[in-house]
Every structure is written in C-alpha cells, then in structure tokens.
C-alpha cells in the first residue's frame, strides 16, 4: 500500500518522554565506565597484589615502571578531577609534572598512599557524575568548552589505556595471573 501523498511512511524517532530517566541511565553508564572492568581489567586487578620487589622494576623495551604508571594515573586523574571542580586549579606542567622522576616508590607507604589517593579521587569523580545537580552537558565555566561529561569520559579513557599498559608490564615482569 502506498503512503498518501505528502506523508512520510518511515518510522519516526521516538520522542524523549522521560529525560530524567535517560539522564539517570547516562550517569549510571558513565560511572560504570569510570569504575572499569567491563571490557578490561579494572584498577584493582591491574595494580593490586603487585609484589613489592617489582614496583620499581623496568623492562628494557618500555619507558616506565609500575610506580611511574601508578603515579601517572594518579596525577592525571587528580588533574581532571580538580579541573572539573576547582576554578583555581593549575595543571602540572606537561609532561614532566605528570610523571614521577623516580622508577620506584620510596617505600611501601608511598605506594599505598598513591593507590589510596587514586581510588579516592575516582570515587569523587564518580560522585560528581552521580550528582543530579551536576550538569553533564554544560561547559565548565573556567574551561574552554569542556563539559563534565567530557572530563569523565577523558578520565575513563585515560585510565583504561594505562591500566592496559599496566597489565602488559605485569605480564612482561612475570607477575600476571590470567584467569
């Protein structure tokens, strides 16, 4: 049967009837992405239970140690978090400010403090995304067009990339147990 003249017979995109519900779903998905682990190792799987003696170990073909990766993850995520919520934040100088100079932590307490700081900042970033009063789409007032959604996705992408490197480094160091 032919459609009457002037009438489009194709399906129309459904109208958005429940934007609040959609907003909630988006926030849930972004938090899951930040948490990681759906398509790759999460932070705890990649970093946890690394033997102390390997925290400063280097593989000749890679320019970083586990400590350098951990600190880079922490520093970069903190920079994204602080930029997102603090108009007075000044980012570290690129690239030196985002990577530690030393290959190994001073001690186990330094390693543990870095792990805890990363996890705490990740929770704070997730809380910003979860908070219904956070407009995920509005430009951050002190930015140059960035939004909270963009910053959360940037953090998730950056973390996933470097956690993948962490897994590869652990494999090369013989410290990765495949499930």
* pLDDT 10s digits, 47-105: 999 999 999 999 998 999 999 999 999 999 999 999 999 999 999 999 999 999 999 99
Q: How large a percentage of the chain has pLDDT more than 70?
A: 89
Tokens coding 111: 């390693």
Q: How crowded is residue 132: how many other Cβ atoms within 10 Å of its Cβ?
A: 10
User: Measured between alpha carbons, how far is 33 from 75 in angstroms, rounded to an integer?
Assistant: 19
pTM score: 0.87
What sign results for the dihedral spanned by CA atoms 157, 158, 160, 165?
A: positive
Identify the weakest region by mean pLDDT among 14-18, 37-41, 46-50, 78-82.
Answer: 14-18
Distance CA 20, CA 76 (A): 31
Q: What is the mean pLDDT of the chain?
A: 91
DSSP-assigned letter for residue 124: H
Q: Which of 141 and 2 is assigned the larger pLDDT? A: 141
34 within 8 A of 126, measured Cβ to Cβ: yes
For residue 13, pLDDT beyond 70: no
Answer yes or no: are the C-beta atoms of 18 and 141 closer than 8 Å.
Answer: no
Residue 85: which H helix or E strand, with range?
helix 66-85
């Amino acid at each position: 049967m032919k459609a009457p003249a002037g009438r489009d017979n194709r399906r129309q995109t459904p109208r958005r009837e429940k934007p609040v519900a959609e907003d909630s779903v988006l926030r849930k998905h972004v938090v899951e992405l930040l948490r990681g682990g759906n398509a790759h190792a999460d932070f705890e799987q990649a970093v946890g239970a690394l033997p102390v003696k390997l925290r400063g170990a280097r593989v000749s073909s890679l320019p970083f140690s586990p400590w350098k990766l951990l600190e880079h993850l922490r520093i970069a995520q903190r920079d994204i978090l602080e930029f997102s919520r603090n108009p007075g934040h000044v980012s570290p100088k690129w690239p030196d400010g985002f990577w530690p100079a030393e290959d190994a932590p001073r001690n186990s307490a330094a390693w543990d403090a870095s792990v805890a700081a990363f996890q705490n900042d990740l929770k704070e970033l997730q809380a910003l995304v979860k908070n219904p009063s956070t407009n995920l789409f509005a430009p951050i007032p002190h930015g140059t067009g960035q939004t909270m959604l963009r910053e959360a996705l940037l953090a998730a992408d950056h973390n996933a990339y470097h956690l993948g490197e962490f897994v590869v480094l652990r494999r090369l160091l013989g410290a990765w147990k495949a499930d």
